[in-house]
Amino acid sequence: MGAVNHCRLHARLTPGKLVARDLSLDLTYTYCAFARAVGQFAAALMKRNVGPGERVALLARNRVECIIVHLACAQIGAIYVPLNWRLSTTEIGALIADAEPLLVIGDASLAASGLAGIPIDVFAAEALALAPVSDTPPGEDCPSLILYTSGTSGKPKGSLLTERNLDQTAINFSLLGRVNSESIFLCDAPMFHVIGLVTNIRPALMQGGALAISDGFVPLRTLDRLADQDLGITHYFCVPQMAAALRAESAFEPDRLRRLTAIFTGGAPHPAADILAWLNDGIPVVDGYGMSEVGTVFGMPLDPDLIAARAGSAGIPGPGIRSKIVDSDGRTCQPGQAGELLLQGENLTKGYWRRPEETAAAFTEDGWFRTGDIVRADEDGYHWIVDRRKDMFISGGENVYPAEIESALAQFPGLLECAVIGVPDDKWGEVGHLFLVFRTGMQANADAICNHLDRHIARYKIPKHISLLASLPRNGAGKVLKTVLRQKLKQEVG
């Protein structure tokens, strides 16, 4: 059906109901006004000769127009390309060169980059002066989004997604996350990422819920907004690092957040101890799994007892998902055995923008998508994310998963964050190199770290090298850039 049609339907069912509140710009939209704005922005795109298949790039912090421009593209068969404003000008330029948009729109981030484009306020004023386009959007299999992957291991790839793909994520998360017409999402995850643009937005628009849009994550401000009874937030989606930052605030008071349906986390492994701490405060923290190419795939039940029993699990598949776990020879893994996760379903990307070879490599001969993630599942179908396949290294003939080591250190006193990569070793082939970031005034020696790990993991998994850093390099989605850590070591050796 597509989000444009969802909005049109709710504009007829509940025309005066609030659908979006832009907290930074102090704007509000009813469903009726929102659906009209989508048609007006579509008219403005057409006036600038944007047609089916053309790309429209947008470089801006979160604001309601990010959503409206996306749906306006879907309305006329164009393809929306959100750009990561946290990247350097060179990196942004590379994405623009790859997508070849007919039109680039942006806020102050665009002006600061020095790249050519139209100010979003100018484009919005132009659009709102036009009569809306009322044509029926093209079919659900028409691509409406190029979502660039995080690029943690190399050059980002553009995942090409259709309205059918995006609808399936809306269905999956609506059911897993109990989204309905009374749901209100606080949206401060960046809208160039799958969480910010898809999982946060599409379920609410499908179900007739509402969005409170923030220009970014500021822990204390986010806490206040989650607790604000006038905003009435029910759903909040973030990465585990953001959830940890909320708890670290001195103003954190669990009582103020207990009205939430849940805090949902994804994008990185969430330590079981942290999840249990939230549960002990009476706040469900629901972990899940997804990626740019497939949207939301797994999610935990919202029942606190079920979460506690399997804290750290990414949950069970959504209704439109088919999954299996295979070993290196393609054989199906038994419960408890780790292997690569393969997926099928209407949520799957059509492929990578102008990357036919990489698209072909991403699928098996019989049509299963290779996630590249190492996963295990129990007999009841609950899944645990073990690590990225590319991050695994082999030490003395044994597979070592950095995420397992990182998880074992999650409760080490004073440790703020850590990351492990595999490095060459003459004796063992590869060994682990551990990067540590401690809280201000806190530190520990290598022996204390190794003694802690010795109580939690096998000795062959314990890293042989340790470095202290002020912070870990992360991309716009909050994921650790292990390629940067590898480059750092190479420069030190060189």
Check whether 435 has a pLDDT greater than 80. yes
Per domain, the residue ranges of the chain are 3-384, 392-493
Q: What is the largest CA-CA distance in the chain?
A: 71
pLDDT tens string 172-212:
999 999 999 999 999 999 999 999 999 999 999 999 999 99
Check whether 108 has a pLDDT greater than 90. yes
pLDDT tens string 238-251:
988 789 889 999 99
Mean pLDDT, residues 48-76: 98
Q: CA Rg, the chain, in Å?
A: 23
CB 243 within 8 A of CB 260: no
pLDDT tens string 271-296:
898 999 999 999 999 999 998 999 99
Q: Which residue has the higher pLDDT, 62 or 135?
A: 62
pLDDT given at position 152: 44
- Helix, strand, coil tally for the chain in percent (to 5): 35, 25, 40
CB 219 within 8 A of CB 245: yes
pLDDT tens string 77-88:
999 999 988 877
**Superfamily, domain 392-493:** ANL, C-terminal domain (3.30.300.30)
Check whether 478 has a pLDDT greater than 70. no
Using CA atoms, how far apart are residues 129 and 43, in angstroms rounded to an integer?
A: 10
pLDDT given at position 304: 96
Check whether 415 has a pLDDT greater than 80. yes
CB 268 within 8 A of CB 387: no
Check whether 398 has a pLDDT greater than 80. no
Mean pLDDT of the chain: 92
**Measured torsion, CA atoms of residues 221, 225, 226, 231, in degrees rounded to the nearest 10:** -170
The H-or-E segment that residue 344 falls in is strand 339-344
Closest CA to 427 of 393, 401, 395: 395
Give how far Cα 425 sits from Cα of 113, 383, 395, Å. Answer: 42, 33, 9
- Which residues contact residue 165 at a Cβ distance below 8 angstroms, ignoring those fewer than 6 apart? 295, 346, 347, 348, 349, 350
Check whether 418 has a pLDDT greater than 60. yes
For the 3-384 domain, the top CATH level (class) is alpha beta
164: which 2 tokens? 């059918």
Check whether 224 has a pLDDT greater than 90. yes
Confidence of residue 150 (pLDDT cuts 50, 70, 90): low
